[in-house]
Amino acid sequence: MSTSPYITDVTGTDFETAVVSRSRTTPVLVDFWASWCAPCKMLMPVLARLAEEYQGKVHLAKVDTDREQDLAARYGVRSLPTVKLFKNGVVVDEFLGVQPEQVIRNMISRHAFRPSDTLRIEAHRAIESGEKRLANDILRRALDIDPGNDQIRLDLSGLLLDDGRVAEAGQVLDGLSPTARSGPEAEAQRARLEIAQLAADSPAPEELEQLIAAKPEDNEARYRLSAHRVLQGNYDSALALQLDIVRRDRRFRDDGARKAMLTIFTLLGGKGELVKHYRTQLSLALN
């Protein structure tokens, strides 16, 4: 067990706190190792020295894969040593095997917290306190000093979408780096933006409900009502409406209902019981 404040031996029990939660304020290097692994013994002193040198700007978490096999499996560790860098709760970089010290330094530098990240943390606290206007101001200040911080852009666009400022959210997302644009968080945000734009250009939900009641074959009203349901957080109803369109008319909006369901799946992270259920129902409807 390490006595350094910058190095922690981690198990499956405390991984969420020691790695995932910690990484929201400090990048965490997770070293997956084993006592029988000779390259692991070569790499570990290098990682430990860097953790001490950076004095809290990066934290080192060590996972003994012989004891924590479930944890290693969860993160797809297939060879040792494997080192993954967590930031903001997710893996943002990694390497396999023994690497030169400079390669490791470069990786840490790429993901070191910037002054704008500190402002981002302040903005999150403001959101948790219900002060969304203050959070908006903080995020805009952070973006002014660091326009290349993709996480700031994602946070700000989400806040703008919450406030119904769809066009502004789109402009903020347009500034994402090419790498960030292809990431799952950006894809989900784009999906949300697309749905918000449709809802903004549509009649009120009550009017759309009346149109469907008067004319059940009105798939356009059903399609637009689904967008409102997403913004209301009623994903079950949104997916049910689009599935109904798929069953009624596959050609509607050039297979638009099926595509809309896929968009909602993306918004939901592509997993969960709701996604699983509607993927099955969509497959049955298409066959």
Query: What residues are annotated to the active site?
Result: 37, 40
Residue given tokens 């040792």 in the structure block: 80
d(CA 285, CA 240): 12
Take residue 107 and report the two structure tokens written for it.
């990786």
Please give the backbone phi and psi of residue 92, each rounded to the nearest 5 degrees, phi first: -115, -10
- Closest-CA residue to 80 (of 124, 111, 35, 110): 35
Long-range contacts of 230-234 (CB under 8 A, 24+ apart): 230/192, 230/195, 230/199, 230/264, 230/267, 231/195, 231/196, 231/199, 232/205
d(CA 113, CA 281): 44
